[in-house]
Chain A
Amino acid sequence: MSVIEDLITELARLPGIGRKTAQRLTYHLLRQPTDRAVHLAEGLQSVAERVAPCPEWGTPTEHERCGYCSDPKRDDGLLCVVEEPSGVEVVERSTEFRGRYHVLGGHLSPLDGVGPDALRLEPLVRRVQGGGVREVILATNPSMEGEATATYIQQLLTGERVKVTRLARGLPMGGDLEYIDGVTLSHALLAREEVGR
């Protein structure tokens, strides 16, 4: 197989790109000055070598930790606990929250074999015990399982020197954080309730 064929095959593996488009892209690159293609290749190589998931919640970053986790302007004392990385995006997009995040990687669901050990709970406790966190805000989804997960964490943090709050009720039941409008979420975040210390 020729190197041109190789490139076409590789490009065609990308989502949304069929063989026809891959061919067109390849011939487009071949018509450009050589350094354009070299730049693209270098870009791909750097991304592959230097970008890794943030150890805190898996968002891609080329630094040790992502912007949310390393930004010095963010308040280390506030920790918002969400189920999935998408929850971080939602809270960021729709509220004024400027603290840190902790992503659990799901919610409790014994029926599906998801117990506490399958969630990132130990790192959460370690983070709290490490000091510096004044308040843990539980922002799990307002589904039954999300609520149960929040209750579980609340129990888990009982006795730790930290304030634990939950989003104010009034979020639609059985929902997903992602589908709640920003106003409702901002309001729920402002009106969060202390649930134990």
Chain B
Amino acid sequence: MWLEGLVARGFRNLAPTELTLPPEGIALLGANAQGKTNLLEALYYSVLFRSFRGATDSELARFDGPGFRVESTVMRTGKTGTIATEFRVAPKRKRIEVDGAESSRLMEAMGHWVAVAFLPSDVVLASGPGAERRRYLDRLLCLADSRYLTALTRYRSVLSQRNAALRHERRDVVQAFDEALASAGAAIVSSRVRWADTATSMFAEEFAALGEQETVGLSYRGRAELAAVDAWPGAIEEAWPADSKRGVTTVGPHRDDLILEIGGRALREYGSTGQQRSAVIALKLLELSTLSEAYGTEPALVLDDVFAELDTERQNRLVTRLDEGARRQVFVTAPRRDELPEGLTLPVWNVKEGRVTCP
């Protein structure tokens, strides 16, 4: 799968852009604030239909502009498909079309263009709180399995209803939501546990392939037995005193985490900066292989200015790793050519004041 064309209008600081992209990808060079990351953000937009930096759609619209349009033309097994999003700031309106037909549900629009993005801020996956790793898991599993997206959406709404009932101190109402909490929660836990089981050894392999010596571990921290709906009534009952005291639901996958260890100790506390960066790369490569298996095609990789953060040895190993196996489209950015690893042989494009140029 590769992105053949990108149209972006009214998007951030980008000038009206209409690009035809090469199947191997591009290396995009430009000084800071010229629009490198904005272009990657537009490239990735049709994956999740939101910003990979967590910006709102209104923030993506050009300052003082009416809104934006992003159109991605994707080539997959010899066929092209077009995914277009039109966003209006006022009155707020978002319309997604897949091959010209409106997609009223996000679930139907997702999966037509799949990519993995790696940003410098992703280091929080290794060093930050559990919420970051939950976000990683949820994004990954939503893309890999549409049933996960359904369960997650349902779980989030039942959780907020149940918490509201807890705040109103109505146990009878709280209990009315227990069944939905259990069925959606069990679906989430079972998907996550199943993924973590296969990911453990893959994570260690990817980490070692980056030249790291120490052994690493990845495991799911949470109550794995909650993968079964039957386990929920007991767990909910047990959690009642805490739930009612704190006014929030204290049991369920919204509190779980992915534990990363190095040499048997928490990577977050004991890993060096270099090791943490390698661990994040390994997680991203894991995301790539999970999605590639789910879709039966190689997703693209979007790397925003990540080489500068790595020492030369880690840079080279990453480039070697990217050259291995299936061919995939890769987008990288850097301020200057000499900040990219030598082994990287992508066509070099430039961006200046929001205008993308190719030689």
Residues of A within 8 A of B162 (CB): 110
Contacts of A111 in B (CB 8 A): 160-161, 164
Asked if B324 lies at the interface with its beta carbon under 8 angstroms from chain A, I say: no
**Cβ-based interface call for A173 (8 A):** yes
Nearest CB of chain B from residue A114's CB, rounded to whole Å: 10
Contact A155 B176 (CB under 8 A): yes
Asked whether B170 is an interface residue with its Cβ less than 8 Å from the other chain, the reply is yes
Cα distance, A148 to B158, chains bound together (Å):
9
In the complex, which residue of chain B has the Cβ closest to the Cβ of A174?
B154
Tell me whether A148 and B179 are in contact in the complex, defined as CB-CB below 8 angstroms, given that A110-B164, A111-B160, A111-B164 are known contacts: yes
Bound CA span A145–B157, Å: 9
Over the window 155-177 of chain A, the binary record of Cβ atoms lying under 8 Å from chain B Cβ atoms (1 yes, 0 no) is: 10000000000000000011000
The number of chain B residues with a CB under 8 A from chain A is 20
A109 smallest CB distance to B (angstroms): 7
A108 CA to B177 CA, complexed, in Å? 10
Nearest CB in chain A to that of B154: its residue: A144
A148 touches B170 (CB 8 A): no
A115 touches B150 (CB 8 A): no
B170 engages A110 (CB within 8 Å): yes
Bound form: Cα–Cα A110–B180 in Å = 15
Contact B173 A108 (CB under 8 A): yes
Also in contact, A109 and B176, with CB within 8 A (given A115-B170, A173-B154, A174-B154): no
Task: Give the complex CA separation of A98 and B138 in angstroms.
Answer: 46
Contact B154 A152 (CB under 8 A): no
B282 within 8 A of A: no
> CA A17 – CA B238 in complex, angstroms?
61
Chain A residue contacts of B157, Cβ below 8 A:
144
- Main secondary structure, interface of B, reads helix
Contact call B154/A151, Cβ cutoff below 8 A: no
Please tell me if the beta carbons of A149 and B176 are within 8 angstroms of each other in the complex.
yes
Give the residues from 76 to 123 in chain A that come closer than 8 angstroms, CB to CB, to chain B.
108-111, 115-116
B153-200 contacts to A, CB under 8 A, are 154, 157-158, 160-162, 164-165, 167-168, 170, 172-173, 175-180
> Nearest residue in A to B164 (C-beta to C-beta)?
A110
For the complex formed, measure the closest distance between the CB of B155 and the CB atoms of chain A, giving whole angstroms.
9
B179 touches A155 (CB 8 A): no
Q: Please provide the chain B residues from 106 to 164 with a CB less than 8 Å away from any CB of chain A in the complex.
A: 150, 154, 157-158, 160-162, 164
Measured between C-beta atoms, what is the minimum distance from B212 to chain A in Å?
Answer: 44
Given contacts A115-B168, A147-B179, A173-B150, contact A152 B173 (CB under 8 A): yes
Q: Which of A108, A173, A174 is the one whose CB lies under 8 Å from B176?
A: A108
The reply to whether B154 and A110 form a contact with Cβ atoms under 8 Å apart is no
The 6 A-B residue pairs with the shortest CB-CB distance, nearest first, are: A110-B164, A152-B176, A110-B165, A148-B176, A111-B164, A151-B176
Q: Can you list 13 contacts pairing A with B, beta carbon distance less than 8 Å?
A: A108-B161, A110-B167, A111-B161, A115-B165, A115-B170, A116-B172, A144-B161, A144-B180, A149-B176, A152-B173, A152-B176, A155-B176, A173-B150
Residues of B within 8 A of A (CB): 150, 154, 157-158, 160-162, 164-165, 167-168, 170, 172-173, 175-180
If A111-B161, A147-B180 are given as contacts, then 6 extra A-B residue pairs at C-beta distance below 8 Å, sorted by A number, are A110-B162, A110-B167, A110-B173, A111-B164, A115-B173, A148-B177
